Amino acid sequence: MGRSALLGLPGTPGQIHDFSPLISPSGRFWTIRAPDSTMQVDLGRVTASWQMKDLPMPDAINLQNSLAGGPTRPGVVSFDVRWSPGPNQRPGKTRDPQNHFAVEFVEGCEATVSWTGRTEGTDFISGAVDPSRPGTFVMLGRERNGVFFS
């Protein structure tokens, strides 16, 4: 699920931020249009990046609110996420005729993120990513779905 959430310390109750775009009326999930210039991709080199600065973003505080479409409070986020080759990367391929999508990809490549989330009175700045954490997933690939699936 697309979200950039800030959570309490492990073992403590309560998520304190959940910055995500709201679901569009058509059902598009937490997905925004981005200026092309903010994304750089070179699949051959297994590199990509996406930078957004001072992007207005609702803070639903927790996932339940975010899935429900609110309530939210105003927020602003900036981030820089970068993909790069990694020693444990491996290729993969999935073709799903039932769901009409096919993807060729490299998974296990590396990624870093620099993230700032700001709401009134708070200013969160991310630190280092821990790639050993369960749940980490990084991939880069090419997908064809819907009418482009064959």
**Which parts of 6-45 interact with other proteins (CB under 8 A)?**
6-10, 15-16, 19-21, 23-24, 26-36, 38-39, 41-45
Q: Say if residues 66 and 60 touch (Cβ distance below 8 Å).
A: yes
Binders in 109-128 for other proteins, by CB under 8 A = 111-113, 115, 122-128
For residue 70, the minimal CB distance to other proteins (Å) is 15
Alpha-carbon gap, residue 128 to 60, rounded angstroms: 24
Residue 56 sits in the site that holds other proteins (CB under 8 A)? no
Residue 54 sits in the site that holds other proteins (CB under 8 A)? no
Residue 101 sits in the site that holds other proteins (CB under 8 A)? yes
Measure CA 25 to chain center.
20
Residue 64 sits in the site that holds other proteins (CB under 8 A)? yes
Which pairs with CB-CB distance under 8 Å and at least 24 residues apart come from 27-35? 29/1, 29/2, 30/1, 30/2, 30/3, 30/66, 31/2
For residue 95, the minimal CB distance to other proteins (Å) is 8
